[in-house]
Chains A and B, each alone.
Chain A
Amino acid sequence: MRNRKIRVLLAKPGLDGHDRGVKVVARGLRDAGMEVIYLGLRLTPEQIAEAAMQEDVDVVGLSCLSGAHIALFPKTVQLLREKECKEVLVIGGGIIPKKDIPKLKEAGIAQTFGPGTLLEEIVKFIETTLGKKGNDNKD
């Protein structure tokens, strides 16, 4: 069992301002018992990676609906891996064309959630993934 609440950082990289999804997810994860930090919008991958390290989070959730995910999500993961956040789970949401998903997975985005995703699915994904990891590492 984990001995602390799951800590999640949510952020919007790039210039996209559609924040309905990220705000709803923030509240949903909070209601599911996680600690959620919503960093806001118009952020560079550098700013997000820096905050993830400082806040010592388990999960980073990126949201982008402008199409810039293909550049910004992998960049953020790369920066996270370069810092001391090698283990952090990175997930994404937005308008993500299916053909982009393999590229994002390869770049280290564990899962993407599009329109029509139920909150429950995101909660379950985070809990199972971290749970498994926790057991493997004897956390």
Chain B
Amino acid sequence: MKNTQEITERKKEFRTTVGGTIVNRVYTPADLEGLKENISLPGEYPFTRHIMPTGYRGRLWTMRQYAGFGTVEETNERYKYLYKQGQTGFSVAFHLPTQEGYDSDHPLASGEVGRCGVAIDSLQDMEQLWEGIPLAEVSTSMTINATAPIILAMYIAAAEKQGVDKGKLSGTVQNDILKEYIARNTYIFGSTASMRLVTDICCYCAQNMPRWNPISISGYHMREAGATAAQEVAFTLANGIAYIQAMIDKGMEVDSFAPRFSFFFAAYTNLLEEVAKFRALRRMWAKIMKERFEARNPRSMMLRYHVQTDGFTLTEQQPLNNIIRVTLQALAAVLGGCQSLHTNSFDEALALPSEEAVQVALRTQQVIAYESGVTDTVDPFGGSYYVEWLTNQMENEAARYINEIDKIGGAVKAIERGYIQREITHSAYNYQRAVDSGEQVVVGVNKFVTESQHEPETLEIGIETEKKQLGRLRKLKQNRDNQKVNDMLSKVRDVARSDKNVMPALIEAVKAYATVGEISDALRDVFGEYREPDIL
């Protein structure tokens, strides 16, 4: 018999992306020291295997597709379409001016109106966005951060107009400003003011909106910006620690708010590493909440999260290949135990997705849910020598980073110093060099390259959108009670200067039809604006 040592392998060595650790040919129980303490059962601390004992046997994940473009009428139409297709939750994409606190008529908004999300300038737009959709019966996730207090105020006011009390509303605001400084860059104010606004929302929701997730602590955008899987784990949890601490510093008792904290991660194509990532994340957050913050309620220790398949991995070349990438990524999310999932459309490296591509993306989730059989048992990878080993590696590498950030004085300080940003930029550059050299294969990009035959239909946003929105805004500003708007804006300034919660004043201001830009400017008057440190 031939000794296996003599069989040549394709590569001299195989490595994980987790700190570049060597991957062995095979894993055995010998690789799993301490497995017994860590593995437990689904629904049991530290929740490595799933937060619920029944996993997807009890309830499937929520299929939540992020969408929004153009004017509120167009987006409202898309939402109704998705709803008919069987989608069980809404996720709102706002155009950049709304996210960064500018009205559609601001010079910086020129060219951006309705582009990568829906244009919301005032409560009037928010009311029309949900026209015909009963807010008491849906759950809505809103990707909004710097202006989250204003947008949440609008959602509350729009619901009230439908006769729905805020206590009955179900959904999420992203409200994670720290990762904006690191990756997504839709910040407005500096970190002190921003952390105050984040915690104002969390306190307000804890007291008034029991079914609302006041924050979705996001690793997704950091991963998109170039973070490795372990960095995604570490930096997200470090930001989570900073938010929990800020709430405690505000005098809140940890179990009074932590159960409603939610998370948001990316899923990449490296299936086993991603499954290990999700398992490590659940275990680490449980330990952090129990050991560091002394939470007693198990719900405070449960990491609940949304996943989006990763946009960066989609290629412009041979776009149909992206359907396969998305399938693997979605499978990783499901095998990892996510609570909700967005699957990207295959044409998103080319433009905003077409209706056909959006449907294929949703169908991908449905095939996994109803045909693949992976939902029949909880955590099917539990006990796999390799995946358990990888889970441990992921935890160790992420813990090393969290220690580093603790030494700097926490996530806020680490961001102010540019530490996290530099680590991510470094990873992004290393990745690109590996692609350039061919060491990292991207099918259709640096290997198996063919001339692209397929030019899919993509969605186009016309310039009429901008014209239409500007017309609406002009009309609104003419027809509302401008004296009342000014009074409300002074009130906002006063509250911002005090240590009171900003939410009640914001709700009053949006009800007077003060716009996102006007309210943001009132807050800018008090808080000033953030300037990015030099990272390169």
Contacts and interface: CB of A to CB of B under 8 A. Distances in A.
The answer to whether A and B interact is yes
Interface of A: 14-20, 23-24, 26-28, 36, 38, 40-42, 44, 66-68, 70-72, 75, 95, 97-98, 114-116, 118-120
Interface string B410-426: 00000000000000010
Contact of B458 (A14, A42, A97): A97
A19 B315 contact: no
Contacts of A26: 536
Given A18-B185, A97-B350, 19 more contacts: A15-B100, A15-B102, A15-B186, A16-B116, A17-B96, A17-B184, A18-B184, A20-B425, A27-B429, A28-B429, A41-B185, A42-B185, A66-B116, A67-B115, A71-B110, A115-B314, A115-B315, A115-B316, A116-B317
Interface string B93-110: 000110110100001111
B432 interface: yes
A14 B112 contact: yes
Nearest to A65: B116
A18 B312 CA distance: 11
B532 interface: yes
B535 interface: yes
Interface in B455-476: 455, 458, 460-461
Interface SS of chain B: helix, strand, loop or mixed?
loop
Nearest to A40: B532
Interface string B175-219: 000001001111000000000000000000000000000000000
B435 interface: yes
A114 B455 CA distance: 15
Contacts of B428: 20, 23-24
B359 interface: no
B257 to A, nearest CB: 28
Contacts of B186: 15, 17
Contacts of B518: none
18 contacts: A14-B96, A15-B102, A15-B108, A17-B184, A23-B536, A24-B432, A26-B536, A42-B108, A66-B112, A67-B112, A67-B115, A67-B351, A67-B352, A68-B111, A72-B110, A97-B350, A114-B349, A116-B445
Nearest to B69: A67
B350 A95 contact: yes
Q: Which 4 pairs between the two chains have the least Cβ-Cβ distance?
A: A17-B185, A71-B111, A15-B96, A68-B111
Nearest to A69: B111
Contacts of B100: 15, 42
Interface in B43-74: none
B188 to A, nearest CB: 10
Contacts of A115: 312, 314-316, 349
Size range of the interface on B? Answer: 35 or more
Given A116-B317, A118-B436, A68 B112 contact: yes
Contacts of B461: 67
B349 A95 contact: yes
A18 B350 CA distance: 15
B226 interface: yes
A100 B102 CA distance: 27
B536 A116 contact: no
Contacts of B246: none
A68 B54 CA distance: 46
Contacts of A24: 226, 425, 428-429, 432
Given A15-B97, A17-B186, A28-B429, A118 B446 contact: yes
B108 A98 contact: no
B185 A44 contact: no
A70 B186 CA distance: 21
Nearest to B425: A23
A2 to B, nearest CB: 24
Given A20-B226, A42-B100, A72 B108 contact: no
Nearest to B348: A95
B225 interface: yes
Given A16-B96, A66-B96, A97-B351, A119 B536 contact: no
Contacts of B183: 17
Interface in B216-247: 224-226
Which among B96, B99, B348, B445 has the highest number of chain A CB atoms within 10 Å?
Answer: B96
A76 to B, nearest CB: 11
A11 B111 CA distance: 16
B442 interface: yes
B349 A98 contact: no
A42 B186 CA distance: 9
A48 to B, nearest CB: 13
Contacts of B112: 14-16, 66-68
Nearest to B349: A115
